[in-house]
């Protein structure tokens, strides 16, 4: 099968459709794209505005041209093209491509260079000899963006207020990253940016029905781990209980997004992000509306689907996209054989982190309803949270002594030991005795010289050994402290902070992930792209750890 022949239709309404269209169907899709172009013709020479119509994502805008560019790897990073802006109306560009692609001497690279402007790569040059703390505080304005409009047909979604990006190739805001970035912003006294980003996410919920993976059109088909309620709680610690009431409508709307289809789903089946187990327990999974290759990782996804034996491409693409929603893209945590991406089965897995976050969302909605004096709502959501906690402790407790994921299609626990086991402690859904057992597994298996390893498998994927990630360390520290294991929390925090300090001392930068195992620690590796500098969530967690363990530095 050629790469081009396995490109599926973009819009698939249910979880089981795996149709693979022919070239004729792809042309029909391209023609439907031209109809979309007509509806956007009035903005062809104007920027996209807040709340205005958005152009389709790049794969729909450019059709066969998109496939050709990504397949030919015109840019080393697949994300570059989908973040580029067209220099003319997309319909015109596509027509020119169709007219000339078979000409003698036609150069696709030259064509792309003529009709597209790639995203700029800002160079961040910090002053010399900054302390780690000073460097992070200096970085905040360097990573802050204001994009109240976007260039015509750009994939960027405008946001009403300034926001902080992670850095490197991540030129837009990301959902779950933002919570950990907010921790540091609040520590630095930037409560204004905390409020701005909360307002941006409230806007996204009001406008699109959910908070997408990031503010790009190609991210709209999925969300990310739902930390919005934690962001509300963070702001409320400084600004008071009114914050819970202010964002209550958006929390309820986000909850409705994640729970779509729950009442109509039969036991033993799933709809979108909802799984109803045979005993009627309702839990959540990661999912994406689409079963096509991701725009930003098109070629990688096509190659993965080609190598996955016995599976339709659509099923593979859906699971790859669902993994992107999890934020753990990619990890042995989602693999059927624990080692190979081709066995990814994320939609068959009920994740312990997602359901812990949903528990917190339910309890935070109850708090917001209390502030609004809507006591019927309080009772309703306390009841939902209680059922959720019961489901977590029934299905997401591994008999080997830790919280973990559950494969609902195989009806058995996943035997993967990862820091995700600490999410029930972080959210307060863990039973006390089980929290202690989980802590002992963390100490005995996951704790390494540089902090917590992300899994017990080394698969070359970035969310596996030997890497450690700042957000998972914060989840661990908060969760263990909540259940009285401050000793272990301190070991985890001080070891990871030492790893961050070591890399900063050598390279004067913070990075996305770190090696925490073995004799030498440092910047992490693996995954679909090179190690990224910046880096939003590392900055935020590191500031918190500095104040906890090195307040004089």
Confidence of residue 518 (pLDDT cuts 50, 70, 90): confident
Cα separation, 432 vs 489, whole angstroms: 16
Say if 27 falls within a structural domain: yes
Does residue 46 sit within a domain? yes
For the ranges 131-135, 234-238, 515-519, which has the lowest average pLDDT? 515-519
Asked if residue 188 belongs to a known ligand binding site, the reply is no
**Helix, strand, coil distribution of the chain in percent, nearest 5:** 50, 10, 40
The two most distant CA atoms of the chain are separated, in Å, by: 73
What domain count does the chain have? 1
From the candidates 329, 353, 405, 464, which is the catalytic residue?
329
In a domain, 150, yes or no: no
Q: Which whole number is the average pLDDT over 330-342?
A: 98
Report pLDDT for 12: 32
**329 in catalytic set:** yes
pTM: 0.92
**Does the annotation place 223 within a ligand binding site?**
yes
Q: Supply the DSSP symbol for 435.
A: H
**Average pLDDT of the residues of the chain:** 92
| Between 2 and 353, the higher pLDDT residue | 353
User: Would 518 be classed as within a structural domain?
Assistant: no
Distance between CA atoms of 514 and 531, rounded to whole angstroms?
Answer: 9
Return d(Cα 528, Cα 480) in angstroms, integer. 32
| Consecutive H or E run containing 401 | none
* Per-residue model confidence (pLDDT) at position 522: 86
Does any domain span residue 51?
yes
Alpha carbon separation from 205 to 35, 202, 228, 247, 373 (Å, rounded) = 28, 5, 10, 11, 23
For the residues 222-247, what does the mean pLDDT come to?
A: 98
pLDDT of residue 552: 86
433 pLDDT above the threshold of 70: yes
Collapsing DSSP to helix, strand or coil, 287 comes out as coil
Residue 520 pLDDT class (50, 70, 90 cuts): low
Instruction: Report H helices in 143-227.
Output: 175-187, 191-208
Q: What is the mean pLDDT of residues 457-484?
A: 98
For residue 109, tell me if it sits in a domain.
yes
What is the extent of the structural domain holding 62? 4-117
Using a 10 angstrom Cβ sphere, with 0-12 exposed, 13-18 middle and 19 or more buried, the burial of residue 444 is exposed
| Assigned domain for 169 exists | no
Q: Domain for residue 82, yes or no?
A: yes
Range scoring the smallest mean pLDDT among 30-39, 119-128, 189-198, 199-208: 30-39
Q: Is 408 annotated as a binding residue?
A: no
Asked whether residue 327 is marked as a ligand-binding residue, the answer is yes
Report pLDDT digits (tens) over 268-285.
999 999 999 999 999 999
Q: Tell me the DSSP string of 82-106.
A: HH-EESS-HHHHHHHHHHHTTSTT-
The answer to whether the annotation marks 370 as part of a ligand binding site is no
Establish whether 176 is an annotated binding residue: yes
Helices H, strands E: what count in the chain?
A: 20, 19
The CA-based angle 398-403-405, given to 5 degrees, is 75
Where does 374-415 show beta strands of DSSP type E? 397-398, 402-403, 406-407, 412-413
129 is in an annotated binding site: no
Q: pLDDT of 360-400, one tens digit each? A: 999 999 999 999 999 999 999 999 999 999 999 999 999 99
Specify whether the CB–CB gap between 518 and 536 falls below 8 A: no
Tokens of 399: 């008999």
CA 450 to chain centre: 24
Query: Using CB atoms within 10 A of its CB, is residue 174 exposed (0-12), middle (13-18) or buried (19+)?
Result: buried
In this predicted structure, the answer to whether residue 463 has a pLDDT above a threshold of 80 is yes
Options 254, 319, 362, 512, the catalytic residue = 512
């Amino acid at each position: 099968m050629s790469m081009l022949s396995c490109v599926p239709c973009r819009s698939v309404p249910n979880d089981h459709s795996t149709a693979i269209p022919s070239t004729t169907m792809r042309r029909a899709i391209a023609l439907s794209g031209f109809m979309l172009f007509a509806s956007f013709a009035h903005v062809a020479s104007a920027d996209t505005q807040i709340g205005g119509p958005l152009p389709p994502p790049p794969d729909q805008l450019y059709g066969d041209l998109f496939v050709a560019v990504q397949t030919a790897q015109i840019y080393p990073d697949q994300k570059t093209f989908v973040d580029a802006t067209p220099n003319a109306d997309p319909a015109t560009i596509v027509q020119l491509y169709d007219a000339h692609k078979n000409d003698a001497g036609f150069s696709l690279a030259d064509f792309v260079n003529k009709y597209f402007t790639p995203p700029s790569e800002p160079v961040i040059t910090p002053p010399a000899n900054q302390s780690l703390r000073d460097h992070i505080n200096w970085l905040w304005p360097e990573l802050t963006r204001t994009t109240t409009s976007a260039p015509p047909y750009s994939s960027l979604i405008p946001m009403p207020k300034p926001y902080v990006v992670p850095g490197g190739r991540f030129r837009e805001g990301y959902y779950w990253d933002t919570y950990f970035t907010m921790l540091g912003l609040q520590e630095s006294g930037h409560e204004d940016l905390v409020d701005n980003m909360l307002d941006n996410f409230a806007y996204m919920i009001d406008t699109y029905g959910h908070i997408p993976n990031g503010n790009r059109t190609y991210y709209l088909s999925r969300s990310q781990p739902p930390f919005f309620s934690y962001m509300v709680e963070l702001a409320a610690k400084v600004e008071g209980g009114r914050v819970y009431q202010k964002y209550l409508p958006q929390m309820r709307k986000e909850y409705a997004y994640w729970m779509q289809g729950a009442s109509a789903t039969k036991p033993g089946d799933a709809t979108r992000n909802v799984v109803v187990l045979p005993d009627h327990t309702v839990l959540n999974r990661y999912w994406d509306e689409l079963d096509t290759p991701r725009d930003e990782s098109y070629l990688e996804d096509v190659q993965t689907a080609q190598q996955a034996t016995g599976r339709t491409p659509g099923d593979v693409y859906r699971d790859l996209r669902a993994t992107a929603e999890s934020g753990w893209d990619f990890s042995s945590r989602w693999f059927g054989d624990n080692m190979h991406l081709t066995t990814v089965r994320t939609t068959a897995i009920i994740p312990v982190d997602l359901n812990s976050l949903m528990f917190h969302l339910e309890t935070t909605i109850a708090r917001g309803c209390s502030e609004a004096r809507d006591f019927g709502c309080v009772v309703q959501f306390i009841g939902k949270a209680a059922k959720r906690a019961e489901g977590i402790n029934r299905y997401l407790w591994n008999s080997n002594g830790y919280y973990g994921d559950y494969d609902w299609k195989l009806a058995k626990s996943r035997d993967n030991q990862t820091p995700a086991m600490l999410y029930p402690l972080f959210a307060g859904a863990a039973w006390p005795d089980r929290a202690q057992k989980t802590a002992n597994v963390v100490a005995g298996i996951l704790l390494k010289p540089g902090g917590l390893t992300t899994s017990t498998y080394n698969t070359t994927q970035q969310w596996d050994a030997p890497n450690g990630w700042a957000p998972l360390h914060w989840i661990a520290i908060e969760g263990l402290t909540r259940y009285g294991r401050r000793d272990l929390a301190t070991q985890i925090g001080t070891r990871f902070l030492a790893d961050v300090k070591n890399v900063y001392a050598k390279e004067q930068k913070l990075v996305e992930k770190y090696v925490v195992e073995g004799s030498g620690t440092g910047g992490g590796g693996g995954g679909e792209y090179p190690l990224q500098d910046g880096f939003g969530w590392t900055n935020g967690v590191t500031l918190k750890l500095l104040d906890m363990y090195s307040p004089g530095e």
